[in-house]
Structure 1
């Protein structure tokens, strides 16, 4: 279980880093790099979501998941990264519009 939780934290953190790098690339006018970084962000989020899904499936199968601070931290990482991803996409779009003018 700890390994799954740590994977959730690691993959969410990597995704967050890619999203932040993508915003910076968009600010610099490098939209191809921004798009590539957002693809990497999505890949890492897919891995994080798989880890989360395995925990949910395990609990749905009757294996009670012990609530721990580490698990709460992992969920917090995932949820804030999902929000950041959505905001990054919007910020990148804004920079594209500004750059086009």
Structure 2
């Protein structure tokens, strides 16, 4: 892949932002479903979140590869914004997965009573 410039770079960065946002949104939907004990829905949203996260990470990885540590990919405010989105989405997804595990355990314990 060659160095991206102009609208190609902007489109690529927007793809990263969109996929990171989708990952976070799906994770939040999974948490909402967990609160309602809709475990099939939880699993579906977590699967969709993971897929969107992978797409975002793939875009990020390709940008890192293009840059080759030499500053070939311009860093601007939208690029920083995209990085913020992906890192926030990754953290949210991990924390939400932990919260969902707690909801499942609480639900299992309440079923044992």
Task: Tell me if TM exceeds 0.5.
Answer: yes
Please name the residue that 1:35 is paired with.
43
Q: Work out whether 1:22 is the aligned partner of 2:36.
A: no
CA gap of 1:30–1:59, structure 2 versus 1, over 3 A, is same
CA gap of 1:72–1:60, structure 2 versus 1, over 3 A, is same
Q: Aligned pairs, how many?
A: 101
Partner SS for 1:3? helix
- Structure 1 runs of 4+ aligned residues shifted over 4 Å read none
Segments of structure 2 that go 5 or more residues without pairing to the other structure are: 1-8
Deviations along 1:27-78, one digit per CA (max 9) or x if unpaired, are 0001111111011000001110111011111011857111110000000000
User: Whole-Å Cα distance in 2 between the matches of residues 69 and 41 of structure 1?
Assistant: 25
What is the aligned counterpart of 2:19 among 11, 23, 27? 11
Larger Rg: 2
Please name the residue that 2:73 is paired with.
65
Q: Work out whether 1:88 is the aligned partner of 2:96.
A: yes
User: Whole-Å Cα distance in 2 between the matches of residues 94 and 78 of structure 1?
Assistant: 25
Deviates more, 1:62-71 or 1:13-22: 62-71
Please name the residue that 1:2 is paired with.
10
RMSD, aligned CA: 1.2
